[in-house]
Structure 1
Amino acid sequence: MGLLSRLSFLVRSKLNALIGRAEDPAETLDYSYQQMRDELTDVEKGIADITAQKKRLEVQRDRLEENIEKHNEQAREAMAQDREDLAKRALEKKQAKRSQAEDLAGQIQNLESTQRNLEEKKADLKRQIEEFKTKKETVKARYEAAEAQTRVSEAVTGVGDEMEDVGRAIDQATEKTEEMEARAAALDELEDRGVLDNAMSDQDQIDRELEAGREDRNIEAELETLRESEGTAEAEPETEKEAEAEEVKAELEAQVDESEVEAELEELREEEKPE
């Protein structure tokens, strides 16, 4: 595997790891749960803002109602002083403030309606969040158990990504080793054939051939020595057998001579007997 192929394999491995982490169901569930929590926070902030606006409008409404009562008192006092013109002006202000107070009351009513809706939504959202949290933890527990079981099974069977990487590394190392062994064998063959000279030796091809010839002659000399020693070892037993045969022959000859001697002695004894 070349450099570019190894780099490509490394990049793909890193990308697959990142994608795998991004697709982790546990992280996805946690992210969804956090989104729901953020939405609940936004609802609570909305309720707080509406409540604050309603309170501000209620304060304004209360002030207008106080002014209406004030203008009403002004009109009575003006009529008591026979100042109809002042009474009319007071009543006009009273009418304007009453109109403003009615507008504020309508706005306050709308805000109260919106506030109730948001509070209901908040209650529903909180219930959904609690249900989702329970399901989320259940699913996460199941996923983690399944993931652990899968890792163990992959480790036992050797089909996981890590084992694939190990197998690929072994294949690469084996391929590299075979290449180096083939290269070493080729260099040895070329050196033996004399195509390459050993840089650490002063011998050339002629010296090597002469040395090989000397070694052959030495081997032949040793073989000849062995042959001669084997021949001597075979000859010795034959000489011993011949010597034994000579001894037997001599004994027989000696026996023959003694019988003849005994026969002659017997003849002499017969002759010596008196008639």
Structure 2
Amino acid sequence: MSFSSRLRVILRSKSNRALTQLEDPREALDDSYEQQVKMLQQVRLGLAEVATAKKRIELQGQEMGGRYQRLADQAQEALNQGREDLARTALERRSLLEGQVAAIRNQYLALAQQQAQLQDNERRLAERIAAFRTEKETIKATYAASEARVKANEAAAGIGSQMGTVGTDLDRAKDRVAQMQARAAATDELLSSGALSDVTAAPDADLERQLSDGATRADVDRQLQAMKSARAADQGHGARARGGTDAWLSIGQAPTTP
């Protein structure tokens, strides 16, 4: 397999893994859950703001209620003292205060209604998010179990994205072994023929090897001639005893004259 082919296989494998991660439903479920949690936080923040505004108007109404009662007491005290003009002024202020109290009372009731609606929405949204979280975790666990099962089955069957890379690596290793074996055989032939010199050999080693080969051939020719002469002598004088317990000592030594 060429380098470009191996590169395409690697890139295709990585792109498939990237697409698988992008399509992972667990990430989509987690993102959806986070968005719902953010919505719930916004609802709770709005609820807190409405409750704060309602409480502020309530305190203002309580203060105005206290003033309203004081004006009534002041009008009565002025009347008891014969100061009808002061009693009239207190009553006029009290009447004006009634209109202001009515205005903030309407605001207070509107905020109270908004608070009740937000509280109801917050409760229902929280319940829905809790149910979604339970279902989300169930789906994620089921997906994880199925994914593990698929990987185990693919590994057992010898398929899958990882097995494709394993096969490619195995083919590359076989190619390298075949190339190395061919190279070793070629260098053996070159060394034997003398076409490739051994840089680690001693100087003039090629001459020594050729001289050694010539001496070996000469020795073989001498032994062959001696065997022929011995056979002719045996045929002329009859067979003579050979061997003996010490015959092995003469192996490799120059033959005796027949």
Same fold (TM over 0.5): yes
User: What corresponds to 1:73 in structure 2?
Assistant: 73
With 109-118 and 200-209 compared, the bigger mean Cα shift is at 200-209
Q: Does residue 149 of the first structure (1) align with residue 149 of the second (2)? A: yes
Q: What SS does the aligned partner of 1:214 have?
A: helix
User: What corresponds to 1:86 in structure 2?
Assistant: 86
Matches within 5 A, 1:44-55: 44-55=44-55
Q: Which amino acid aligns with 1:160?
A: G
Deviation per CA, 1:52-88: give whole Å up to 9, x if none: 3312211211211221122233233334444344334
> In the superposition, relative to structure 1, how do residues 184 and 68 fare at CA in structure 2: closer, same or farther (>3 Å)?
same
User: What corresponds to 1:198 in structure 2?
Assistant: 198
> What are structure 2's unaligned runs of at least 5 residues?
240-258
User: What corresponds to 2:161 in structure 1?
Assistant: 161
Within 2, Cα distance between the matches of 1:145 and 1:183? Answer: 50
Within 2, Cα distance between the matches of 1:27 and 1:36? Answer: 14
With 39-48 and 142-151 compared, the bigger mean Cα shift is at 39-48
Within 1, Cα distance between the matches of 2:128 and 2:152? Answer: 36
Within 2, Cα distance between the matches of 1:222 and 1:83? Answer: 165
Q: Which amino acid aligns with 1:213?
A: G
User: What corresponds to 1:250 in structure 2?
Assistant: none
User: What corresponds to 1:124 in structure 2?
Assistant: 124
Within 2, Cα distance between the matches of 1:230 and 1:88? Answer: 169
User: What corresponds to 1:271 in structure 2?
Assistant: none
TM-superposed deviation, 1:18: 6.5
Within 1, Cα distance between the matches of 2:9 and 2:115? Answer: 58
Q: Which amino acid aligns with 1:106?
A: N
User: What corresponds to 1:215 in structure 2?
Assistant: 216
User: What corresponds to 1:252 in structure 2?
Assistant: none
**Identity percentage over the alignment?**
34
Q: Is the 8 A contact 2:58 2:108 kept in 1?
A: yes
Matches within 5 A, 1:220-259: 220-224=221-225
User: What corresponds to 2:252 in structure 1?
Assistant: none
User: What corresponds to 1:112 in structure 2?
Assistant: 112
TM-superposed deviation, 1:155: 0.5
Within 2, Cα distance between the matches of 1:79 and 1:53? Answer: 39
Deviation per CA, 1:226-264: give whole Å up to 9, x if none: 66677788x59xx79xxxxxxxxxxxxxxxxxxxxxxxx
> In the superposition, relative to structure 1, how do residues 79 and 180 fare at CA in structure 2: closer, same or farther (>3 Å)?
same
Number of matched pairs:
237
| Structure number with higher helix proportion | 1
> In the superposition, relative to structure 1, how do residues 10 and 52 fare at CA in structure 2: closer, same or farther (>3 Å)?
same
User: What corresponds to 2:62 in structure 1?
Assistant: 62
> What are structure 1's unaligned runs of at least 5 residues?
241-275
Within 2, Cα distance between the matches of 1:96 and 1:188? Answer: 120
Q: Is the 8 A contact 1:197 1:204 kept in 2?
A: no
Within 2, Cα distance between the matches of 1:71 and 1:91? Answer: 7
Aligned-residue Cα RMSD (Å) equals 3.8
Within 2, Cα distance between the matches of 1:116 and 1:25? Answer: 37
Deviation per CA, 1:20-47: give whole Å up to 9, x if none: 5565333432343344334334433432
Q: Is the 8 A contact 2:191 2:197 kept in 1?
A: yes
- TM score, norm. by length of structure 2: 0.70
Q: Which amino acid aligns with 2:77?
A: E
With 219-228 and 3-12 compared, the bigger mean Cα shift is at 3-12
TM-superposed deviation, 1:106: 2.0
> In the superposition, relative to structure 1, how do residues 18 and 213 fare at CA in structure 2: closer, same or farther (>3 Å)?
same
- TM score, norm. by length of structure 1: 0.67
Deviation per CA, 1:179-232: give whole Å up to 9, x if none: 433443343333333233212323454444443333334444455556667778
